[in-house]
Structure 1
Amino acid sequence: MSLPRPRQLLLVSLLAGGLTMALKTLAWYLTGSVGFLSDAMESLVNVAGAGFALWMVTIASRPADKGHPFGHSKAEYFSAAFEGGMIFIAALAIFITAAERLLNPQPIAALGFGTLLTVLASVINLGVGLLLIRGGKAYQSPALEGDGKHLLTDVWTTAGVVIGVGLAAFSGLHWLDALVAMLVALHILREGSLILAKAVNGLMDQALPEAQVQQLTARLAELSASARAAYTNDTQALAADQLCFLRLRTRAAATQAFAQADLQVPGNWTVTQAHQLADSAEQQAATLGIQLTLHIEPAAPAQPNPAS
């Protein structure tokens, strides 16, 4: 079954986020648990993050223009940075609320129904999170993958909240409720740091994954070997360093992949010959989803063998 497009996946995430936030907020209202409140506040971050990610993916999908000749794909990294920032704000709010409740513990009411609502919300997050991660890998989208990983983190957070709130209710140690909320805040702070780090790395033009670079290198090596084999010369065979691809450099820009290399050809080749080989290389790279740019250089004349 084919995956929906990135914008459709983020719309699903946005709708699911709104539903889970409503369920968790109702759970907090019914129980009065600050642990459930912290879980509801993280869901608010999910909704804000999904909405901002949808906006950034819409911008990223715009074609290249005069002001952005390489496209707008890096807009997706702003989504990750925004979501990381929202997490920090939510964690601060949770800490403040939990500190007040720690000083003034209160009993938890209607735990059963409130827990049921929270678990239902968590199941929704689990399904949508797995779908987003799958879509993120398929479309090479940091916005989708980041949103999906955040939802899965939310699932584990909810599990911890349910256990902690249950212990607080059944043991009568109501301060455990506030402690659980503080642990949730620390947990999502860590998640926010990871999301921000990934956004910063993306904006710094990281190289393509090693597996993708190796694929491209192998394709270029095959192409140059084939071109050397097809080349005929009355005096001597063409040496490997007379026709080859050199100094390969790659960079990732969200869903787009770029590469640059030097194409070294015999000095007596015509522009047409060099251009045909460069076109073939660029087409091979395109099958791997990489936009390859080549700089053509003449090779130094082959040195005669002194022993001949």
Structure 2
Amino acid sequence: MTVSVVVALLTIALKTGAWWVTGSVGLLSDAMESLVNLAAALFGLWMVTVAERPADDDHPFGHDKAEYFSAGFEGILIFGAAAAIIWSALPRLADPQPLEQLGWGLGLSVLSSALNGLLAWVMLRASRMHRSITLEADARHLLTDVWTSAGVVLGLVLVGVTGWLWLDPVLAIAVALNIVWEGLKLVRRSVHGLMDVAVDGQEQAAIDAVLTRFTLHQGGQPLVRFDHVMTRKSGQRRFVGLHMHLPPGWTLGRADDLRQQVERALADAVPALHASIQLLPDGVEPLTVDLSELPEGGAHEAHAH
């Protein structure tokens, strides 16, 4: 994330220089998106630092969800940048202006895109290694920036070849609409993360495989079985809660030994997974009550029961 801040500063300088020498509103829109990259990188660096803090009395499950704020903030910044781009492009659409020194402008834009593309590739690899939504969001935004710059460069080449000056503001508006779509996706992912979405299909399959391996049968009947499996994601961490049903005759020591084996296997199968396993004798189901449906005073009675 620190490197992302440095690269954002470099690309702002390069793209602003490209806009300055050409007067292209398309290159101006590209430079304004880089300002969003800088703000997002700074906020992302802060949120990653917060997410690394250990659990405390006020946050017993840790601070991992701070990363989702970064993705949402970046999406909101994108909407602001898109509005500014369209605001700048509309007057040019009504009154197109000639462009100057396209060669220098295109060269600076291509160089900045190369820097963003390299950084996005590195950050995507790091996001998979650390399972960080902040790194992934910033990397995908940078990739969008690369494609945006490529479209701007292509459009300016067409302007130089055809002389159609109206292509420049039209291209800027297209850039704005494209980054709005990226912003919507980032905000959607942030909201899903804050609402305790379940783990993805691959991680769920790994959890199911472990539980299947520890399920025991005797005489065609389940001796050890698992149910009520619930999962959620919180930043880099994963949580699973489940019931493990055991023969009533087992000692507590034997049951706890098997529980520890299952927990270790789950942690090996899914990195950063925290398992909460409730031990139950076979044939016993826990009482679950929706307190919102109880009459007045019913919550106290259900608790006592």
TM-score, structure 1 normalization? 0.88
Once residues 221 and 204 of structure 2 are traced to their aligned partners in structure 1, the CA distance between those partners, rounded to angstroms, is: 21
Structure 2 counterparts to residues 194-273 of structure 1, below 5 A: 194-225=185-216, 237=218, 240-273=221-254
Q: Give the whole-Å Cα distance in 1 for the aligned partners of 2:261 and 2:112.
A: 52
Q: Secondary structure at the match of 1:26?
A: helix
Identity across matched positions, percent: 44
Q: Is the 8 A contact 1:243 1:265 kept in 2?
A: yes
Asked whether 1:11 is paired with 2:5, we answer: no
Matched, 1:274 2:255: yes
- The answer for the alignment partner of 1:232 in structure 2 is none
CA contact (8 A) 1:241 1:299 kept: no
SS of 1:263 mapped into structure 2: strand
Q: CA offsets, 1:177-236, max 9 Å, x none?
A: 1111011011111111111111111111111111211212211222233xx6xxxxxxxx
Separation of aligned partners in 2, 1:285 and 1:291: 8
Is the CA contact 1:107–1:169 (under 8 Å) kept in the aligned structure 2? Answer: no
What residue in structure 2 maps to residue 161 of structure 1?
152
Bigger mean CA offset, 102-111 vs 27-36: 102-111
CA deviation vs aligned residue, 1:249-279 (integer Å, no higher than 9, x gap)? 1111120011011010111222212111111
Work out whether residues 245 and 264 of structure 1, in 8 Å CA contact, stay in contact via their aligned partners in 2: yes
User: Structure 2 CA distance, aligned partners of 1:97 and 1:37?
Assistant: 9
Corresponding residue SS for 1:242: strand
* Residue 288 of structure 2 corresponds to residue 297 of structure 1: no
Distance in 1 (alpha carbons) for counterparts of 2:279 and 2:184: 43
| Aligned counterparts, 1:183-198, within 5 A | 183-198=174-189
CA distance in 2, matches of 1:277, 1:222: 12
Pairing of 1:165-180 with structure 2 (within 5 A): 165-180=156-171
Q: Following TM superposition, by how much is the alpha carbon of 1:239 offset from its aligned partner in structure 2, in angstroms?
A: 5.8
State which drifts further: 199-208 or 114-123: 199-208
Report the alpha carbon displacement of residue 171 of structure 1 after superposing the two structures with TM: 2.2
Paired letter, 2:43: F
Structure 2's unaligned 5+ residue stretches are 285-305
1:47 is aligned, of 38, 43, 46, to 38
Q: Which runs of 5+ in 1 are unaligned?
A: 1-9, 229-236, 302-308
Give runs of aligned pairs for residues 5-154 of structure 1, distance below 5 A: 10-154=1-145
Contact 1:19–1:121 (CA<8 Å) still a contact in 2? yes
Q: Which residue of 2 aligns with 1:6?
A: none
RMSD: 1.4
Deviations along 1:45-95, one digit per CA (max 9) or x if unpaired, are 111111111100000010111111111111000001000000000000000
Give the paired residue count. 282
Following the alignment from structure 1 to structure 2, what is the Cα–Cα distance between the partners of residues 33 and 78?
A: 34
Q: Which residue is equivalent to 2:267?
A: 286
Contact 2:71 2:134 in 1 (8 A): yes
